[in-house]
Structure 1
Amino acid sequence: MGRIRLAYPKIPDSSNAPLGKCFAFEKYDGTNLHWVWERELGWYAFGTRRNRFDLDEAGINGFNQAHPGLEESSELFLQTLGEPLNDIFREQYPQNSEMIVYTEFFGPQSFAGMHKADDPKQLILFDIATEAGILGPEAFLNDFGHLPVAAVVYRGKFNGQFASDVRAGKYDVTEGVICKGGSGSDLWMAKIKTDDYMSRLKAAFAEKWEQYWE
């Protein structure tokens, strides 16, 4: 195991988001996991936002010991996403020697990053990073939208009314949304969470609720 710099960037709230075209993806209440692919090695590493393990028997065992509740994730990834992503990378991204895939792992009763052992789990793909950085939302949907990806709940101009509507529960999301716009060096992201989700955190964790808000 290696502790790493954050494998996925911290997403700011929407207070400084640009007022322009955006895609709003559902934000799922689960665990952020990343998977690393290399052209010669294939899938060789994986982990959470803060650590990384080899994607082999020893590494998977170490990951499972370090992260109880996530034991199903590696097999689930290799069975559902590993092969189709490998094919896309080889056919459509020949100029890239390494790619990083970001997924959310969760079940129907997952809450605040905690999972129920008997729940059926799934992995939802929400971002792909090439050696140049994270793909913009249009490229992501064009190339990977046929796979199990985060649902797009809104396409249009980002503005304060949209943010208020998300918080008020006018969109069919449990936790909230991630808004994305632009591409390349102009890519921006912002998160908006629902008031109901905040209330659930406060009810479950009292004064410690903000530890689970991010």
Structure 2
Amino acid sequence: RALSLGGGACRGGDKVPSGCPRSHSSFDQLRPVPEILSTQQLGAARVASADRAATQLVLEVASEGHSCLVFCHSRKKTQELAGTLARAMQAYTPVQRSVFPTSFLSVERGRGRTHQLHGQAVHGRQSEEAARRAAARDRLKHMLTTAAEGWPDRDLLAAVRCGIGFHHAQMSKSEKEIVEEGFRCGALHTLTCTTTLAAGVNLPARRVLILQGQYGYSTSMYRQMAGR
């Protein structure tokens, strides 16, 4: 059943409810908490460029080594956007795909051999991490192939190779669980999904993007998606 969601703030280890009747709280004192959610009407030109903006935001957070969820309005859109993001990731240079800031790789004058060795060590850690991610993605592809009894979704496998997956109701239960675990363990850094992922599946992400479709989302559904 649908659950009521409440917003609030933390102060000194105690939670201060926002907009809750006094009878629902065990605190002696309450103070007004400013609303953290707002509504903004976007023009047609900005909506038309949503995919391009989403791609930039995903690449930004992925290049920092963090995860991102992108909620789409349809199953078809999740697959199309996953393909777009995968192609964008392939166009990224190795330095841009690094989980370390590029400043770590520079050799400044006056720092000498010590700083150069540090840069080499960073390169070594990056290579090891890249190898681990590649191995994890290969395992995911094998698991997806097995789950599909030898007939996996080729678009999904191509996206997984770039660290991206999609998730919607038309996929089998096994496929969805494999994709969820891949995102949870870090093998996949980005997941395009429908609202089915907002209910009951807790996948923490550094950034959550919600793409507007033909139909708007209710306030409760928006908060479910944003709360991931």
State the TM-score, normalized to the length of structure 2.
0.28
TM-score normalised to structure 1 length? 0.30
From the CA coordinates, give the structure whose radius of gyration is larger.
2
Q: Identify the structure with the greater helix proportion.
A: 2
Structure 1 or 2: more strand by fraction = 1
